Amino acid sequence: MNGFIFDAADERATGRLGAALAAAARPGLVVALEGPLGAGKTTLVRATAGALGVDERTVSSPTFVLLHQYQGRMPIFHFDAYRITCADEFLELGVDEYFASPALSLVEWADRVSDCLPTDRLTMRIEIAGAGRRFTITATGPESQRVLQRLAQSLRE
């Protein structure tokens, strides 16, 4: 399986997905979040970080600072590429080192910097679907595949 769809009818369902992602993730995972303004990217990050023991109130879009760090059961790097105008600006943040470290990295507006992301990554494309959200989740490498399997399994339970 290279991917699956998860329909989140409301924010609570996104919370369930975030908790499942937190359980499935291993240090070093990079999650690319794609979707329009207000798609629910930050909501997913907040739920994931919360399930890893971070105070959810501290999680917000790092739109101006480009990166927030949280300390949960593993370190979390929360990027936002919304204001990035060129790939160089993103690379200058030192993203390669962050992505290579034993942390969970989540990138909002990942489609804007896709060339700078590791090929082995979990991509969550979010679409607004009526009052809810549709997540299309795909893996593009061995490690993200394993995460995807665990994620699908735990959402079935």
Ligand X SMILES: Nc1ncnc2c1ncn2[C@@H]1O[C@H](COP(=O)(O)OP(=O)(O)OP(=O)(O)O)[C@@H](O)[C@H]1O
Binding residues for ligand X, per CB under 6 A? 8, 10-11, 13-14, 35, 37-43, 61, 108, 131-133
Binding at 11: pick from ligand X, Mg ion, none (beta carbon under 5-8 Å per type): ligand X
- Interface with Mg ion by CB under 5 A: which range of 28-36, 53-61, 64-72, 123-131? 53-61
Please, what is the minimum distance in Å from the beta carbon of residue 42 to Mg ion? Answer: 3
Binds 35: which of Mg ion, ligand X, none (CB < 5-8 Å by kind): ligand X
Cβ-based nearer residue to ligand X, 100 or 129 = 129
Q: Strand 75-80's sheet: what is its strand order?
A: 3-8, 132-139, 122-129, 30-34, 104-108, 75-80, 67-71
**CA distance to 28, 41, 55, 77, per residue, from 100 (Å):** 6, 22, 25, 12
Residue from 14, 42, 48, 123 touching Mg ion (CB under 5 A): that is 42
Are residues 25 and 121 in contact, defined by beta-carbon separation less than 8 angstroms?
no
Tell me the C-alpha to C-alpha distance, in Å, between residue 157 and each of 38, 115, 134, 152.
29, 35, 19, 9
Q: Does 61 bind Mg ion (CB under 5 A)?
A: yes
For residue 14, the partner it binds in Mg ion, ligand X, none, with Cβ less than 5 to 8 A by kind, is ligand X
Name which of 111 and 120 has its Cβ closer to ligand X: 111
Q: What's the CA gap between 108 and 37, in Å, rounded? A: 10
Q: What is the DSSP letter of 24?
A: H
- 67, 75 Cβ separation under 8 angstroms: no
In angstroms, what is the minimal distance from the CB of 86 to ligand X? 20
Q: With CB cut-offs between 5 and 8 Å by kind, which of ligand X, Mg ion, none does residue 121 bind?
A: none
Contacting residues toward Mg ion, per CB under 5 A: 41-42, 61, 108
